Structure 1
């Protein structure tokens, strides 16, 4: 896909991967609808987008609120006349043992990581079809490929949004709307600030800018999946598919240390 002058919605655009995507797409140039809970960070990103030659429209919204997905889609249409690309990037996390999580923490992850992108995509589909060459980008997670202990709900939502993307791509085949799933590994974003997991726990970090750049390459090359983590991630995915008991054993050896490192990991 040629991204020049496209109308693009990015959720979770105030920080992290969403912010990095917005700034890198600005120079295409692009017409960006920046979505997030807080107006302040979005306005800061919008100002930077405009400095780089792009256009920006801010929508401060709670995507889990009733009616919010429709409002976002309508706002992008009203601002830029249509919609070419939807990036479902917004997400949250609450790690820890499942029985220690509060019910609201479980439901909050499901609402933002899974339900919201499904409903926003549903609301955006007429606009994406009308574009004639529409695209949905779902930002999943490496944990959506290889599930980790203490991330049971998060893993479920990230695997869920990825399978949603795969199913939707097949549903829309030949109808002018494609779907790309992006699987970041551990990424240096505000979302990870409450985690103490490092390389010794299997978390090897890369920058949000690198993830965003890889996603943009994937869009440009009409890829179906962008998987970060290099050969290490590929080997782990293959091992989990072919010998899941071996992955169980590998993770069991670091389970206690991992629990201690991630038990306070929360953006909920």
Structure 2
């Protein structure tokens, strides 16, 4: 156990996709709660910035520049976290890849990339941390899904399919481990103002009607504060109040606008 865990009573946390957006916000919130946090992602410079911000606030952060989609990287991330900070007691999977396109327009390599990042990486990370959690009879696994995973949105392609599948993965982890003190939840946000999402101004929506990354960090912190006797989820949807900022409608308008402007498939990654 790390010195931080011994002092605060909080287990070490690993946040995948921690270099920006929701992952960075969740990592900062966990550190503020007293968790020593491993920050995992591809963009080393941004990871170091997030880590420095956490340390400035008195927290403990370990940046790990890894592409979790590469073979062996999830196991390496968990092993490095355990060696430096202690066993992973909180796993948050926020890494994401998105390429919006109709199914007939989706290339096989783009499909496989989204499934790998959005579904297989959370599976591999869960597989690595679950044996220790089961032995200790305590743990949290939080997967960041999407409101689009619970809706059929034409054009959401491999992103919508993989986010829907991660909900079932989380349900399985929950049911297989709930009697061992382990809780698994998918937090499925609607429209959040991050680099992965459309800009509110482009769709005529005021910025203050769209969620921000801190809203999702608040939700994760709230979940972790639930007493051991309470199970929430395993799917928790977090949507903007305004109907014009709903995830499915926003994505549909975003795709319609892109097609009208002659743009090809919309591709972004946050890892």
Q: What's the TM-score bracket when you normalise by the shorter of the two chains?
A: 0.7 to 0.9
Q: Distance in 1 between matches of 2:216 and 2:115?
A: 23
Partner of residue 52, structure 1: 57
User: What is the DSSP-based 3-state SS (H/G/I as helix, E as strand, rest coil) of the residue aligned with 2:180?
Assistant: coil
Provide the TM-score with structure 1 as the length reference: 0.83
Q: In the TM superposition, what whole-angstrom CA distance separates every residue of 1:30-75 from its partner, at most 9, and x where no partner exists?
A: 1001000121111111111111121111111111111111111111
Deviation at 1:6, TM superposition (A): 2.4
Secondary structure, aligned partner of 1:84: strand
Q: How far off is 1:193 after superposition?
A: 5.4
Q: Would the alpha carbon gap of residues 145 and 196 (structure 1) be closer, same or farther in structure 2, given more than 3 Å must change?
A: farther
Say which is worse superposed, 36-45 or 127-136, in terms of deviation: 127-136
Once the two structures are superposed, what CA deviation does each residue of 1:177-214 show, in whole Å capped at 9, x if it has no partner?
Answer: 210110011111111258986367xxx62111112112
What is the aligned counterpart of 2:174 among 144, 148, 169? 169
How far did 1:218 drift? Answer: 2.1
Residue in 2 aligned with 1:266?
A: 267
Match 2:144 to one of 129, 133, 139? 139
- Out of 214, 239, 245, the position equivalent to 1:229 is 239
Question: What is aligned with 2:129?
Answer: 124
8 Å Cα contact 1:197/1:258 also seen in 2: no
Distance 1:259 1:173 in 2: 45
CA RMSD, 1 decimal? 2.9
Structure 1 CA distance for aligned equivalents of residues 181 and 98 of structure 2: 33
Partner of 2:79: 74
Structure 2 vs 1, CA of residues 256 and 47 (structure 1 numbering), >3 Å: closer, same or farther?
closer
C-alpha distance 45-252 of structure 1, shift in aligned 2 (>3 A)? closer
Deviation at 1:126, TM superposition (A): 1.8
Alignment: residue pair count:
250
Q: Does 1:96 align with 2:101?
A: yes
Q: CA deviation at 1:156?
A: 0.6
Normalization by structure 2: what TM-score? 0.82
Cα gap change, 1:197/1:166 in structure 2, threshold over 3 Å: closer, same or farther? farther
Structure 1 residue aligned with 2:164: 159
Superposed CA offset, 1:120-142 (max 9, x none): 11011122224431110011100
- State the distance in 2 between where 1:64 and 1:106 align: 13
- 1:240: which partner in 2? none
- Work out the CA distance in 1 between the residues paired with 2:254 and 2:16: 34
- Partner in structure 2 of residue 218 of structure 1: 223
- Secondary structure of 1:33's partner? strand
After TM superposition, the structure 1 stretch with the greater mean CA deviation from structure 2, 191-200 or 67-76, is 191-200
Retained in 2: the 8 A contact 1:109–1:154? Answer: yes
